[in-house]
Structures are given as C-alpha cells and as structure tokens.
Amino acid sequence: MCRKIYKSTYTILPGVVMKRLFVLIILSCLITTPLTGAVGTAQYSVDQRVTVEINPNAELLGVVYYLAFGRNDTFVIDRGGYLNDVDSYFGPYRNQPVVKILRKYLENYTSIPKRDYQLMLIEYYLLLCSDPPEIKPRVPSGFPWFDDDFLPALRDFARETNFMGFYSSHVDYYREDLNIYTAALRLLPPDGFMANYSGFSNVEYRFEHPFLLAVHGHSFDPVIDGVQVWGAGGMLPLVRRTPQRTVWSFKTARDTMFGLPLNRDIMNSTRLDELLYLGFIYHELGHDVTLQKLYEEHDTLENLDYLQKTIENDMPYLAKYDIHFWNPNGMLYESFADSWEDFALLHVNENYSLLAMDMQEAWGEFWIWTLFSETRECALKVRAGEVGNFTSCVPQILNYLRKTVPPEKAAELYQKVVPVTPLRAFDRGAQAGRVVIVYGTQNPDPTGTLRDRKTARAIAENLRKFYSLWPEGVEVDVKSDAEVTPDDLRANLVIVGGPVSNALAKEMQGAFPIRFRKINGEWVLWRNVSWESRWMPDSFLLLPKNSPKRASFGNVTISHGYFSPVDKAGILIAIRNPKDPRNYVVWIAGANRDLTALFQNPTYYLSSYEIWSKKGIEIGFYAQPLAPS
C-alpha cells in the first residue's frame, strides 16, 4: 500500500529522526484484502470505481479522542444528538487504557497546529489498517508508539465496547455528510475526469472521512490486487484554507490553528457545500498526479525555494503557524494540487474556479495563474492524446515557472498581484508588534457605544489568542475614537463601527472602496467609484437559491459582479493604512450594532473585503502595491 503525507518538513515520532516528508512515506506493497467494506459501514458507491464513506477507523479515533479531551476541545465537532449518544454509550469507558495512552501522547503537542499534524498522522496510519475490531496493519508503519502502545489498546477498546455495533447503528447520522460528498462526486466523477485529463486509467477512487473529529485532509494511494487506488482522508480544510460559507460548513468547521470561534457570515446552500468538497477532493487528487514527480525533481525544487520565501518575507507569522510552510517547498506542492483543483472546478462552475484562484493568490501563491495556465495546457494535451500522462509534464512546468517568475522579479510580482486582506494585515501586526482597535463614541444612542466597545473587546480577545504563537508578543490596545493619537493612526488599525458612531470611520470613508450612505432613512453600502477605477477589485457574488439573479446553478449562483447598494449589511474590509502604507487598516461595520458584531474574529479571511446580508455574500479582491522604496 502506498500513501503519502506531504504536509510538513519533518515527522515528529518518538525515538525516530526522519527526513523530510517528501522522501519519508513512499510505501510500496501489494494488498489482497479490501480497503473497506465491512458489514454496516457507512459507505456509498458513487459508481463502479468511486466510493466514499465515514471510515470506521477514523470514527473510532474520534470517539477515543473525545473521551480523552471532551466536548469543548478544538478538534471535536459538536454533532448534537450523536455526541450525546457517544457520551451515553462510551461514557463508562473513559478510563480505558487507550484513552489514557492517546491523552498522554497528544499532551506533548501543546500548540494546536502541532496537534493538528499529529492527529493527521494517527488517522493516516489507521487508514492503513483493516476495520475494527481487528485493526490489523497492512504495512509496517515505522511508528513504534502507534504499533506497540496505541494499536493493541485500541483493539481492546473496540472489542470491549462493541464499537462496530455503535457505528452500524448510527449510520443515519452520517448521511448528511455522505449525501453532500456523494452529490459532489457525481458533479464531476473522478474516474472519468482523471482518465481523460491525467492519462491514468484502471484507478479506483476511495474517499474515507471522519465524522466526529476535524482531522487535517490528506491524500493516499494504495495498490490493491494490482489496481491503483487514489483517494483522500481527513476533513475538507475549512476556515483559513477554505473559509466556511454555509450552514453545514459552519457546523463542521473548526479553527485547527488557534481554536478561535467562527463568525456566522453564512448562507444555506447545499450546492456550495458540494463545491467546497469537490475542490478538496480534486486538490488531493492533484497531489496524486504530481507528488512523485516533484520528489524526483528535488534539485529543481530547491532552485525554486525563493517562491515560498517571498511569501514568508511578507507573512512570516503565517509561515510559522500554517503547517504547509513547514517544508521549504510545501507551498509549491500545494500550488500544483491547487492548479489541478482549479482546472477540475472549471468544468463544473467557472466562477467558483476563478474565486478559488483569487483566494489561493491571497494565501500568497502569486504564481498560481501561471501554474494554472500550464496545468490546463498539459491536461488538454493529455485529452488530445498528444501527451501520455499529466505527471510527465511536471518537469517542464517547473522550468516554465522559473522562467516566467524568476527570482529577481518575484517580490515585484508578489506586490502586484497578492491582494490586501485581513490575513496580511494581521500578519503585519505581528511584525510591527502592535495592533490598535478603535471603537466609536459618536453614536447619539449610548447603547450603541456600549455595544461597539463590547465588540472591540471581543476582537481584542480573539487577536491576543491569535498572536499566542508569535514569540515576540503583540500588544493589542483597545481605544475609543476620542483617545487615539497620531502614532496610533499610523499603526495597524481595526476600526469598529460606521461613520455615524466612529469619528475615525467617518474621516477615512474616502480611503475605502465601499462606504456607508443614508438613503431613504436606511444606511446602505455604496461604491467609491474613484477608488475602484484605481485598484480594480475583482468581486464575486454568492447568492442563495431564490435569488432574482439569472443563471442560477443548483441552489447557489456564483457570479462576477457587485451588489447594487445594499442595506442591512455587515462588512469586513482591509486596506493599506493611508498614513503609513506599510501597515493596514481593517474596518468592521454594519448597518446596525448586531451586524457590526458579526465579524468578531477577523483573522481568517482571504479576501480584501466581504459584504454579508440576507441577499447573499459578496467577496472582493484588490492589490495595493507598495511604491518602490
């Protein structure tokens, strides 16, 4: 069986010093037993070669983890009645050896990103095992703690509790997730698409996911009876990598970097859920068709390490807490997978593909459009029979990338294309060592001032937690608009409240691409036309099913364009600080106090601005390059 984990530079295993992961786990073996298929498993067959399931081994890990760390743990997904059933059924087993073993092991990993990585490793190895209660490894793991301590205790737990009885009797709970997964895979069946555009056929596709535990998504590629299997484990990477936008994704999302709460800027859209999942699946399949060749091109990759360093120079805090940066070329691996995802999504919803690329660019991938163009060209040649398979194109794509984005042009291109976002703004706050949050005192209704001050303090609390991994520390000040000093105004700012309540927001209205205006007694968001003509935002609308907009796709419309002036809206927006363009201003405001309070955790946004209202969600992107020094 061959499976890959590519997310980090080094694995951290007890007593073992391992090399970089791009040479760590390349396992080759032949397996004669099926990967899944035990009686009572929650498995759906999309077609003859594509299956998806809530994997019993992954769910067993979730139960044991829950018993070890409880309902309020960052990685536990509160599934309501299901979690109550877990409490009732497994509560008497909280002191089982496996619970203590897992708790002791994971308590060594105190930061959330490190625990995130370890959970991914444990689930990865469990997916290499047969179903409970046997849980027999199909290949040696080389992970002594897992083989010698954890697995024997896990088998005992599965037998003693009759875990599979519980699992089989709770299949109905898994159906919501499985229905979304299955419908997504039917939008673009992987067997047909991958055969046509990657050039690899006779492949089976297995997607194996947890339900109770938010495990980092990863790819794998076992060989079974001489048949190649490609697939994915873990959960789709919501929040910072793919911010949640829907009721379902909000319910299942967890911030597995800081454990911060999520904002309720969401809409009800099953089709958008399906697109989120489909993007995740094709991202992981993109790894399957590129990673092996990228490993072989080690020297070429080393000569391209300036690409990731360019991101790290601008967002060093992101590079510290995001595990994708822990490998010197991790972001290049991600970009190859991203470009395959973007090409696949193009066949389902063009605007969603374009939105995905803008968000990838906002994550720092300033070369993504070049890579996408080359990915598309090669894939079309595969389809036309001019190229045998997509993997063979990887070396020439790497060479083209270096030619098109040479080291001496990297920083300049980054500034031109990577949008201003809250992500960049708060990274700059870490570097500067200070963020000032300013709430307004001008509202004629005193309760408005109290509410805005409460929102400002909640934002400050979330920012202090967000900066907990920055070793130098960050000062987060909360001030009223009457207290700010000239030095404050040049700092990294968060302005809370609109122009009626906040004097600083009123003063800076001309600096934002969107502003509030009062029309017919209602405060509405209005375009700053002169600003837009200078910076040219790229904007998308996510509109629910009954939108009057044309070209509705399923129960969501995703289109380029703007809302007309919109009332009853909240906005989160970032710009460079006009008084010191090295720093940023993040403005959080709404047509009322509740809408102002919508974005109390502004740390995870990959767009320059977002407008939320009952009409839907508008997401916009723009770059504001610094003038050459």
Task: Give 244's pLDDT tier (boundaries 50, 70, 90).
Answer: confident
Token pair for 131: 């179903």
- Find out whether 609 and 455 touch, Cβ atoms under 8 Å: no
**Which letter, b or e, does each residue of 104-127 get, where b requires 16 or more Cβ atoms within 10 Å of its Cβ?**
ebbeeeeebbbbbbbbbbbbbbbb
Task: List C-alpha distances in Å: 155 to 32, 94, 325.
Answer: 22, 15, 35
CATH number for region 422-621: 3.30.379
**How is residue 235 annotated by DSSP?**
B
- For 487-546, write each residue's pLDDT tens digit: 999 999 999 999 999 999 999 998 999 999 888 888 899 888 877 667 778 999 998 865
Token duo for residue 407: 């080291």
State how far the Cα of 249 lies from the Cα of 600, in Å rounded to an integer: 18
Mean predicted confidence (pLDDT) in 569-590: 97
Mean pLDDT across 90-103: 97
Taking CA atoms, 63 is separated from 116, 163, 172, in Å, by: 16, 9, 17
Strand duo 580-590 + 492-496: pairing? parallel
Q: Which regions of the chain carry the CATH code 3.30.379?
A: 422-621
Token reading at 75: 């990685």
Query: In terms of C-beta distances under 8 Å and separation of at least 24 residues, what long-range contacts does 82-87 make, across chains too?
Result: 82/170, 82/173, 82/211, 82/212, 83/212, 85/166, 85/170, 86/212
Torsion angle, CA of 566/571/575/579, rounded to 10 degrees? 100
Structure tokens at 101: 């073993």
For residue 1, pLDDT beyond 70? no
For CA atoms 620, 567, 511, 499, the dihedral sign is: negative
pLDDT for 69-87, tens place per residue?
A: 999 999 999 998 999 999 9
CB contact at 8 A, 366 and 47: no
**Looking up tokens 């500067």, which residue turns up?**
432
Q: What is the DSSP string of 40-70?
A: T-EEEEEETTEEEEE-HHHHHHHHHHHHHH-
Count Cβ atoms below 10 Å from residue 320 Cβ, excluding itself: 17
DSSP summary character for residue 108: T
Distance of CA 626 to the CA centre of its chain: 28
**Tens of pLDDT, residues 151-180:** 999 999 999 999 999 999 999 999 999 999
CA distance 133 to 164: 7
Is the pLDDT score of 200 beyond 80? Answer: yes
- Containing H/E element for 384? helix 368-384
